[in-house]
Structure 1
């Protein structure tokens, strides 16, 4: 089932909220991939992951019988979900990172359609299905610790994000809702209404929880209590959304109805700049300091995060599809043909490539016929979902 909608973009405005005080900063989880696009900021960057410089060797692969999600790589294990091959629902898998063998038996997550997503933090693994059932598991044993259905909505396509003892997610159906859930108990701490709650994994920092929807309707909330900080309103709304990326003081948002994605100031939501794209539904960009990496129309382009000027473009086979990730200065990107590349992030020079054996799908953020997919790394591995197969590379 496809939830593609048409929306009309109008003139934007930013509505700041006074009285916001930032909470204390929390140390980031380092060297692991804990949610979509690696971390709570969704910036696609890993440092100190133990992944050596390419070339890499194929360590193991698993055929899961259905489309494979982005991996979570932490605690010596690799976690993914896959679409059930026999009907609606998805399956949670845990593998030993060193061997690819099952760490524990697969768990059915149930749910309508084939969407699900994962997050990790606080010593727990979190899985959410399309129906809004959010569950916590012991990552060592697979034992379920708690399970809670998010109230008030029925369509859930926003991958969860863990930060500072809280799991953040969103749902849609009647308008939209952002949820903050106690990671230890599953109790909902706070909710906020948004327009319209689809496909935007919350990007979280110590200062804000950021989500972005159709017509560039974008929100910032205070993480602890959910107080609104600012809202970028464009005078229209619609279904659909895109996961925002926090990088270099900006919030990088995308919109399927626009060809000029925006960069917003984190502090007040004002527009810092725009950049050209063939359409606003391009994959999430990745960042390494002031360097940003953008896949658009089958090619990868580097841009400076402040000037937005480009120094190099990599065409590959003109079928580049994945959202890129950056691991210790190397940019990894995959293709619909199954080709995988590693590039020098500073120069764009390709330093390694291989074929994983199956197409590397686009991260379709508006289709619930499969879990949201993407690359990940950690624990000495680069992990690549390729259609129904999960492939791990390392030394």
Structure 2
């Protein structure tokens, strides 16, 4: 590959803010929580990291609740916050919770999740909540009451699910599977390189990376293009879509979505807004133009980024190793908000606990820190 590197500059910015006491939850807040849902790990099915949700310019804590184990990234939809937790004591299995988005109180659950592993991941679409295990068992739940609707075994060494357009997509064991949201029937399976990667899906196709390849599939499962680094293997990467670009963590490639042409490289975790990528790497957050991949500014944060980035309005939010969430202006890189957390965000993994991260949806910024889930608005 001949991708050109994206160089990161360093600019030190420091800012402190006092976290105010949250205002009481009301009917308006409950209504707002149903809008702009977070339906995937990085907010949307294309894993763009950007939400249409509105947050206060200076978010304050709305609620915080302790659960029975380390909590996953949240899904925020239907006036609820959904998370899975690891089974206490380091045993396989887990639990599914629905929290009231206005108050943080348990709406239903914990529902026990069986399996041979510790990894469970969530997605939402079309009025259904989907849980996928590392063994590839996808289970659909009624988000209102928590009743199981159906369960289907797909592919082992499986990924975070992505649900959109009436289909749930998962990636594992050298295959991508597409499952009907209505009844769990497998619509198609396609053989690919790698396993266990996180998919990104939009109206143009299914994007994945793993082993040594980056691949675009059509929505019916045919291979549109494949970009291979000259080898084969297992393992899966994370995929992100921004503009007409596909950011693949396998090889850190930036690819043209339409053709698969290699346009450059990146390092870190991106989120996208207004024609720019905001890439968190170490203690840095860099804004780059999607038109030419040129860096525009870099903000150095007080701690290493361990959660996010996610975007609402004109602010990029990242969780850091010093137990804070920092809000950074998308316009100039200045730190405009500092939120204190009860612990360190992020963590988890396929073999020991659900993958944890922060998310934005329904007027809330939700940040798990171990077994505690905290919401800001």
TM-score (ref. length: structure 2): 0.88
Which residue of structure 2 lines up, in the alignment, with residue 113 of structure 1? 117
- Choose from 42, 66, 86 the match for 1:83: 86
Change (3 A) 1:214 1:165: same
SS across alignment from 1:324: strand
Which residue of structure 2 lines up, in the alignment, with residue 228 of structure 1? 223
Q: Distance in 1 between matches of 2:297 and 2:2?
A: 33
Deviation at residue 274 of structure 1 after TM alignment:
2.2
Deviation at residue 352 of structure 1 after TM alignment:
0.9
- Provide the alpha-carbon RMSD of the alignment: 1.8
Which residue of structure 1 lines up, in the alignment, with residue 177 of structure 2? 179
Q: Distance in 2 between matches of 1:115 and 1:249?
A: 31
Q: Is the 8 A contact 1:295 1:322 kept in 2?
A: no
Is 2:156 the partner of 1:154?
A: yes
Which residue of structure 2 lines up, in the alignment, with residue 166 of structure 1? 167
Which residue of structure 2 lines up, in the alignment, with residue 24 of structure 1? none
Which residue of structure 1 lines up, in the alignment, with residue 361 of structure 2? 378
Q: Distance in 2 between matches of 1:238 and 1:99?
A: 46
Q: Is the 8 A contact 1:376 1:382 kept in 2?
A: yes
Q: Distance in 1 between matches of 2:264 and 2:291?
A: 9
- Choose from 358, 375, 381 the match for 2:343: 358
Q: Is the 8 A contact 2:280 2:305 kept in 1?
A: yes
Q: Is the 8 A contact 2:38 2:362 kept in 1?
A: no
User: What count of residue pairs does the alignment treat as equivalent?
Assistant: 346
Change (3 A) 1:367 1:140: closer
Which residue of structure 2 lines up, in the alignment, with residue 312 of structure 1? 297
Q: Is the 8 A contact 2:2 2:262 kept in 1?
A: no
- Choose from 296, 299, 302 the match for 2:281: 296
Q: Is the 8 A contact 2:161 2:170 kept in 1?
A: yes
Deviation at residue 11 of structure 1 after TM alignment:
8.7
Deviation at residue 107 of structure 1 after TM alignment:
0.8
Which residue of structure 2 lines up, in the alignment, with residue 67 of structure 1? 70
SS across alignment from 1:181: strand
Q: Distance in 1 between matches of 2:58 and 2:116?
A: 41
Q: Distance in 2 between matches of 1:162 and 1:55?
A: 32
Which residue of structure 2 lines up, in the alignment, with residue 26 of structure 1? none
Q: Distance in 1 between matches of 2:118 and 2:243?
A: 34
Q: Is the 8 A contact 2:48 2:272 kept in 1?
A: yes
Deviation at residue 370 of structure 1 after TM alignment:
1.6
Query: 1:39-90: CA deviations, max 9, x gaps?
Result: 010010011x2x3333111111122232211110011000011111132111
Q: Distance in 1 between matches of 2:69 and 2:109?
A: 17
Which residue of structure 2 lines up, in the alignment, with residue 17 of structure 1? none
Which residue of structure 1 lines up, in the alignment, with residue 102 of structure 2? 98
Is 2:180 the partner of 1:197?
A: no
Which residue of structure 1 lines up, in the alignment, with residue 352 of structure 2? 369
Deviation at residue 321 of structure 1 after TM alignment:
1.5
Structure 1 segments of 4+ aligned residues over 6 angstroms from their partners = none
Which residue of structure 2 lines up, in the alignment, with residue 330 of structure 1? 315
- Structure 1 gaps of 5+ residues are 1-9, 13-28
Which residue of structure 2 lines up, in the alignment, with residue 243 of structure 1? 238
Q: Distance in 2 between matches of 1:376 and 1:354?
A: 14
Q: Is the 8 A contact 1:30 1:46 kept in 2?
A: no
Change (3 A) 1:214 1:289: farther
Deviation at residue 298 of structure 1 after TM alignment:
2.5
Query: 1:230-270: CA deviations, max 9, x gaps?
Result: 11122212222222111110101113xx5xx2111111211
Q: Distance in 2 between matches of 1:306 and 1:67?
A: 39
Q: Distance in 1 between matches of 2:151 and 2:289?
A: 43
Deviation at residue 367 of structure 1 after TM alignment:
4.2
Which residue of structure 1 lines up, in the alignment, with residue 331 of structure 2? 346
Q: Is the 8 A contact 2:305 2:319 kept in 1?
A: yes
Q: Distance in 1 between matches of 2:306 and 2:160?
A: 20
TM-score (ref. length: structure 1): 0.84
- Choose from 207, 218, 227 the match for 1:210: 207
Q: Distance in 2 between matches of 1:241 and 1:306?
A: 27
Q: Is the 8 A contact 1:195 1:213 kept in 2?
A: yes
